[in-house]
Amino acid sequence: MATAVAEPLASGALSRRAHEHLFFWGMSVAIALVVFIGFARTYFLADYFHAKPFAAPIVHVHAAVFTSWILLLVIQTSLAGTGNVRIHRRLGLIGLGLAPAMVILGVLVAAEMLRRFAAVPGFDAPGIYAVALSEIAGFAVPVLFAFRLRRRSDYHKRLILVGTIAMMTAGFGRWPVHFLLHQPLPAMCCTFVLLAIVATYDFVSTRKIHRATLLGSAWVVAIELMSLPLSHTAAWHAFAAWSVS
């Protein structure tokens, strides 16, 4: 009798684990699609759309590192789902190197974009600059804790996912859709929907929202929303002008 009871329990645990791996893999693919759609016209398929190329080399370096991070996320979730834990951990060392590079290059490219668009009429360059820096902060904090908690897989994978989602505001904000294109708040709302999906998955699968999801998402939402009123202050515009100079 005990064996008969144990077998369904074990089977149920394996099923939940398989569903969890599938969910995180699916989210990583969704993130990759958000990025590709957002940057297809201006970067990935720029030649096809006859887009004006970026002159600054730092933008291309940033794009290479950013794309590598997204591809690594898809690969890592795939490896975890197929049980290749050893390879997953070895590739994690690449992520450990990419993460600080993402932060540094993100700040540099945000400053480059500010200089590039500062004189463009009707374009709120200081506002976009504030949003961009908030995305970088939204990424940096969860990912930092993700690496510190890498031995606790439930925390690690959620914080990595939440941190990566934080940067999707830039992707959504470049979708060729009227209400999203260069519109920070609608783009943020789309990003927050992705966070809500993670929280919903936690609640449906475990009847509670995981602490990593809750705290990480709260940080991302707070820091990105704070960037909007901040970007309209005189102090921020003075800081942006100083950054350009």
The 3-state DSSP class for residue 209 equals coil
- The angle at the Cα of 180, spanning 175 to 186, to the nearest 5 degrees, equals 135
In a domain, 7, yes or no: no
In a domain, 12, yes or no: no
**Tokens encoding 174:** 């470049």
Q: Is the pLDDT score of 187 beyond 50?
A: yes
The count of domains in the chain is 1
The residue type at 73: L
What digits encode the pLDDT tens for the residues 72-95?
Answer: 999 999 998 888 888 988 999 999
In a domain, 2, yes or no: no
pLDDT, mean of residues 226-239: 94
In a domain, 149, yes or no: yes
Q: Which of 209, 207, 198, 107 is nearest to 161 (CA)?
A: 198
14 band by pLDDT with thresholds 50, 70 and 90 = low
What digits encode the pLDDT tens for the residues 26-44?
Answer: 999 999 999 999 999 888 8
In a domain, 11, yes or no: no
Q: What is the pTM of this model?
A: 0.91
CA gap 127, 237 in Å, rounded: 9
In a domain, 194, yes or no: yes
In a domain, 43, yes or no: yes
In a domain, 74, yes or no: yes
What digits encode the pLDDT tens for the residues 139-173?
Answer: 999 999 999 999 999 999 999 999 999 999 999 99
Domain residues for the domain of 102 are: 17-234
The residue type at 87: I
Q: Where are the alpha helices (DSSP H) in 40-152?
A: 57-81, 85-117, 125-148
